[in-house]
Amino acid sequence: MKIFKLPAIIILTIIISSCASYITLDQIQTIKRDMTYLEVRELVEKAPEESFRFTSNEMSYYVEVYQMQTGMSTTSTYTPPSPGFPGGLTSSETLTSTADYLFLYKEQNLFYWGFFYELNKSEDEEVLKISQDLIEAYQLKKESVGSFYY
Amino acid sequence: MFHLLIAILISAAGCTGARFTSSDISQLRKGMSISETRIITKTTPIYTLSFTGVNAPDTYEIQVYKLDSGGYLANYMLAYRNDELLYWGYPYEFARDKDPLLNEMGEKVIQQIMQYKAAQKQINQFP
């Protein structure tokens, strides 16, 4: 049957991330301090994956968390020849790696943004002071739904 | 702060097969010259912007590279003052920094990139 006369190698690419639930670094390159959360959402064209409020040093903060693309990896699998695929089958799968990325608002204005792992090395004194409370608040938020990447 | 834009150079990087990756970043040091960083980045920047201030003799240059993380490419910038590496990072890091000089440098180069891309898009619409 003609249908079985396939090329020796069939490249099948499955892009897991086709329904892109993440944002990219290039999407946020025009973000500026003091933007509102609505302006940020307009730029990234997505609603956050998580949002929460927390208090630290008697100041209230609002946080929105997105998944940020940090890399890609491709794995290839070769399946030996079979009656249906006389030349064998090579399939490749591209996976997108992501990490939690936060936008921190104080009095409705963007105050800080970055990966969670950047919080403890911030040059901003206020960010350093509140970072532990922020991380703990996020852990509490995530505990009910699953994994926490930090 | 910057009043005069001297030059914008746009080149096609990546033709050599060389890649600028996350592991290369750890080799960068403040004060390095452009020729020294070029050895580390192994590739040419996709954009270069040079500035000079009207009231100061200092010259500034920002180079934009594509940082490769397993095939995921994102803009990554190296900023120099008088041919000495001053700061480096993703555009969001320039925007987030408390130094208004870095904020402005980052903003200018991103604006230029976006204008260039918009112009390219228009050109492509008229074959």
Average of per-residue pLDDT values in chain B = 85
Instruction: Print the domain residue range for A34.
Output: 2-143
Q: Which residue of A has its CA nearest to B73?
A: A71
CA gap B62, B65 in Å, rounded: 10
Q: Where are the alpha helices (DSSP H) in chain B?
A: 22-25, 34-41, 91-96, 100-125
Supply the pLDDT for residue A112.
97
Q: How many domains does chain B have?
A: 1
pLDDT at A50 over 90: yes
DSSP string of chain A, one letter each residue: -GGG---SS-EEEEEGGGG--SB-GGGGTT--TT--HHHHHHHHTS--SEEEEEEETTEEEEEEEEEEEEEEEEEEEEE---SS-TT-EEEEEEEEEEEEEEEEEETTEEEEEEEGGGGGG-S-HHHHHHHHHHHHHHHHHHHTTS----
Low pLDDT (below 70) residues in chain B: 1-16, 53-55, 126-127
Closest CA of chain B from A114, distance in Å: 8
DSSP summary character for residue B99: -
| pLDDT recorded at residue B55 | 60
Residue A148 lies in a domain: no
When CB atoms are compared, the residue of A29, A94, A97 closest to B92 is A29
Best mutation target among A24, A27, A29 (most B Cβ atoms within 10 Å) is A29
- Per-residue model confidence as pLDDT tens digits over A137-150: 999 998 876 655 54
Q: Supply B82's token pair.
A: 């008088």
User: Chain-wide mean pLDDT for chain A?
Assistant: 84
**Domain boundaries, position B121:** 4-125
Q: Is B70 on the interface with A (CB under 8 A)?
A: yes
Structure confidence at residue B102 (pLDDT): 92
Total domain count for chain A?
Answer: 1
Give the CATH number, domain containing residue B22: 3.10.450
The pLDDT of residue A126: 94
Amino acid, res. A53: R
Query: From A101, which residue of chain B is nearest by alpha-carbon distance?
Result: B92
pLDDT at B127: 59
For chain A, say whether B25 makes contact (Cβ under 8 Å): no
C-alpha span between B65 and B76 (Å, rounded): 5
Partner residue opposite B74 with nearest CB, options A25, A114, A123:
A25
Are A68 and B74 within 8 A, CB to CB? no
**Has residue A69 got a pLDDT over 80?**
yes
The answer to the question of residue A150 being in a domain is no
Per-residue pLDDT at B12: 43
In a domain, A14, yes or no: yes
Coil/strand/helix, residue B33: coil
Chain A residues closer than 8 Å to B71 by CB: 71-74, 94
pTM, entire model: 0.78
Provide the pLDDT confidence category of residue A65 given band limits of 50, 70 and 90.
very high
Task: Please give the Cα distance from B35 to B53 (Å, whole number).
Answer: 23
Q: Within a domain: residue A103?
A: yes
- Write down the pLDDT at residue A7: 44
Task: Report the pLDDT value the prediction gives residue A75, as an integer from 0 to 100.
Answer: 83
Q: Using beta carbons and an 8 Å cutoff, which residues of A are at the interface with B?
A: 24-26, 28-33, 69-74, 94, 96-97, 112-114, 123-124
Whether ipTM exceeds 0.90: no
Tens of pLDDT along A72-116? 888 888 888 888 788 888 888 888 999 999 999 999 999 999 999
**Nearest 5°: CA angle at B17, between A25 and A9?**
95
